[in-house]
Amino acid sequence: MGRLVAAGAVALALAGGTTGALGAGGTAAESGITADSVNGRNLDQRKNESKASARNGKADEAWNCMGMSTLKKAVKRDLKCVAASTGRVRGFFLRTPCKSLDRVLLAVGDTAGNSAVISVAWIGFTSRSHADAFERVETVQGSGDITPLAGALLDLADVHFTGHHYRAHRDGATMVIAETESAAGHVGSAVLDALAEIAVWLPKP
């Protein structure tokens, strides 16, 4: 995993809600999304509820549990894992081709103008052992990564993924990778980590 900037053609779809939160600004003092800011429930409780919804294929419900909703979403499906990767991860794909690659970039936000951008990638392999081997390479900091879709597609050209808020999950012969960053206003670090942890349980588009 590592810091990346992406490019590529995608299918862009607006999801429910408004795009206004993406450019609304806001500060930490203006209802920023923090570990204690939603309905008096602590972050772990909200995260666990969100993960349960994500596992059941209810993405909108998952974000609602976090006091957020989907603002925009971009999706791309292809088999070009080598072209869509960097560093040692790319070297791995040269030796062990992937079977499928699905990538999603979405923006989620609250009604106060605080928003985050989330990148999720589903990498399919022909066997579980290949997925295990990929996980051992990809989860090492600085080893490279699957390139997220371009933030510019969501009018977020200045948002770059640092790898600081990252989660990975293996599901049989598929690896799921999620990264998050704050987009506008204030989204606390612990919440960004929680969003990544939820995102790896989202259903593949």
Q: What single letter denotes the amino acid at residue 136?
A: R
pLDDT in tens, 135-186: 999 888 777 888 888 877 777 766 788 888 999 999 999 999 999 999 989 9
Beta bridge partners of 86: none
With H, G, I as helix, E, B as strand and everything else as coil, classify residue 95: helix
What was the pLDDT predicted at 41? Answer: 64
Residue 35: count of CB within 10 angstroms of its CB: 17
89: left (phi over 0), alpha (psi -120 to 50) or beta: alpha
C-beta separation of 136 from 109 below 8 A = no
pLDDT in tens, 96-129: 999 999 999 999 999 999 999 999 999 999 999 9
C-beta separation of 32 from 187 below 8 A = yes
CA angle 64, 173, 11 (to 5 degrees): 50
Q: What pTM does this model have?
A: 0.80
pLDDT-derived band of residue 29, with 50, 70 and 90 as boundaries? Answer: very low
C-beta separation of 199 from 50 below 8 A = no
State which H helix or E strand residue 119 sits in: strand 115-124
Between CA 137 and CA 157 the distance in angstroms is 29
Q: What single letter denotes the amino acid at residue 66?
A: M
